[in-house]
Amino acid sequence: MREEFLSGFGPGLLPLPDAVDDSALLAALRMSPRFMGEGFRQAAEELFNSPIFIHGVYLSVMLYFSAWLAPEPFFSKGLAAALTVRLALLVGLVELGRVAHACLRLYQEAGEARTPRELEEASARFGTALGGTGFRVLVLVATMGLGRLLPSVPEGGIGAQVRTWVTALEGGASVGTAATARVIADGTLVVTGTAVGVSVSSVCSAMGLCTMANSTGGHTALSTRYGPPHTRSNPPHNEAIEEELAAREGAGHIRLDKNKAQTNAANRRVFDPAPARGVRFRRPDASSVRPDGVRHNTNYVSNPDDMRRELEAFEAMVRADPRAIHELYKLDGTLVRRYVPPGVVFP
């Protein structure tokens, strides 16, 4: 189940524990239906009694809703991007953000609770704040992430509606193969993909909600979660860097840098002791510090004609910081060169 969610939503910003059964957050979620409104309390109790469903809600909070912690939430997995568009069209970005922050507040308060009473109070605040629309959002995110693992739910209450919410967009709107969705500061939803769909585009236009960008032609929105675009003329290069840094953040790396001057694990600038053609320092495409304190630098090469230059940069980075891990990849994921310092375990 954990792998099902990770494959659909990618790593979250919150640390995902190895076991969740004794989690305070899970306990608070289990109690929350008692405090929900009359109109949907019974349905919530039916669904929350399913061990698979309650774990799905837990994972939704940790992986999908945690993405809303960022100032401009960014969803790079296809399922997460498509789900964000569907939810935005169904309930609106304001409501979606409200549910996300209610989930995150529950996560924080459950973690801070020191007595059963404090945990129950946190659960009550969550259940009261959720509302019918918020519960609808919670169910949709959990069931989308569960995929084939979702058990059959009772026919009464909410059960009959769960299966229809996936296609409940008015007018049969479709998101096609949306690849990324990003909510920017002014409340606009920017969607990119190979075929984001005419129906969604028309619905978005009517609602004044979305900005669509087709990655097969025309302008393509560039991800900027970890820093300014690497280059506007090569979007795949920029997206590879963003995805790499997102994966590292999920793995617990710190000091996530995008195209910044090379530094060591102590965050001090380092310089090539034998600079080629006068280039004294380099800018790794993606750089971070692993949980064990080892700096990890990665570069990507887009054009085979640039391979010689990129290999020269790779060797310069190794000379500047031989205690760091250095990698060079092609954009298709092929490893060109890797340096691992003596005594360092990789991966």
Return the percentage of the chain with pLDDT > 70, whole number: 78
> How far apart, in Å, are the Cα atoms of 180 and each of 82, 93, 152?
8, 16, 30
Residue from 328, 237, 252 nearest 289 by CA: 252
Q: Give the domains, in start order, of the chain with CATH numbers.
A: 2-74+85-165 (no CATH), 235-339 (3.40.1350)
- Model confidence pTM above 0.85: no
Per-residue pLDDT tens digits for 13-22: 777 776 777 7
- Element holding 325 (H helix, E strand): strand 325-330
Return the percentage of the chain with pLDDT > 90, whole number: 28
Q: What is the structure's pLDDT at 294?
A: 96
> How far apart, in Å, are the Cα atoms of 220 and each of 41, 145, 166, 205, 290?
43, 27, 27, 18, 32
Q: What is the structure's pLDDT at 246?
A: 84
Per-residue pLDDT, averaged over 207-218, amounts to 40
What strands, in cross-sheet order, belong to the sheet with 286-289?
254-258, 286-289, 295-301, 325-330, 335-339
204-230 b/e (C-beta count within 10 Å ≥ 16 → b): beeeebbbbbbbeeeebbbbbbbbebb
Can you tell me the distance from the alpha carbon of 139 to that of 62, in angstroms, rounded to the nearest whole number? 15
Min mean pLDDT across 110-114, 212-216, 220-224, 294-298 is at 212-216
Per-residue pLDDT tens digits for 239-259: 889 888 888 888 889 999 999
Per-residue pLDDT tens digits for 49-62: 888 888 888 888 88
Can you tell me the distance from the alpha carbon of 268 to that of 245, in angstroms, rounded to the nearest whole number? 20
Residues 6+ apart with CB under 8 A from 101: 68
Contact yes or no for 100/62 (Cβ under 8 A): no
Residues 6+ apart with CB under 8 A from 338: 325, 326, 327, 328, 346
Contact yes or no for 93/183 (Cβ under 8 A): yes
Q: Which residue has the tokens 């704040």?
A: 129
